[in-house]
Amino acid sequence: MIELHDTPAAPSQAAPVALPRSLQMQERVVELLAPRLAELSRNIPRLQPWRRWAGGAWVLGLHTRHEGGERLPWSRLDFVLRLDGAAGTVEVRCRSTLRGRDRLPQVLQVRLDEAGEAELLRWVEAALLDFASAWWAGAPGPARVAAEAGA
């Protein structure tokens, strides 16, 4: 029989310190982004919300949904969230594809405090308005986006 003496506690008993803070931060960022993505989805009904874990980060966004046998180019707008609970920061990477063409990604890193949340909201709204403007510029008929960031 094997005897163990003076062994440290099992790793499962010691929870990482940063995990709960990271989860709280993730929930807060989603609270900030989700209503704005939902609003864009209401204005461009072809875009449907989705959320998943990919590549070690939460990804929250919209993507096109095609009806029946449609063969239209794919579009998407994603926000990739990388959280550092210990530092209290979030890196948000905005990736988008518009009618089958990838656009340059944008990155913002902020401390998730009151000032950081305000900066994050301004940045996200600007990214959403930029995407919507480009979407409607490529669509037949008049442009439907007239608001400015922060309005």
**Partner residues linked to 76 by β-bridges:** 63, 97
**Partner residues linked to 96 by β-bridges:** 77
Rg (CA), the chain: 20
**Would you say residue 150 has pLDDT above 60?**
no
CA pair distance 32, 130, nearest whole angstrom:
18
Token pair belonging to 11 = 């790793």
pLDDT in tens, 21-63: 888 899 999 999 999 999 999 998 889 998 998 888 889 999 9
User: What's residue 20's pLDDT?
Assistant: 80
Taking CA 132 as the corner, what is the angle to CA 108 and CA 80, rounded to the nearest 5 degrees? 30
- For tokens 């669509």, name the residue: 139
User: What's residue 21's pLDDT?
Assistant: 83
Its pTM stands at: 0.74
The CB density around residue 40, as the number of other CB atoms within 10 Å, is: 20
- 68 or 56, which is more confident? 56
CA pair distance 148, 40, nearest whole angstrom:
14
- For tokens 């310190």, name the residue: 17
User: What's residue 138's pLDDT?
Assistant: 78
pLDDT in tens, 85-141: 889 999 999 999 998 899 999 999 999 999 999 999 999 999 999 999 999 887 644
52 residue type, one letter: R
In terms of Cα–Cα distance, which of 124, 91, 85 is closest to 107?
91
The CB density around residue 112, as the number of other CB atoms within 10 Å, is: 22
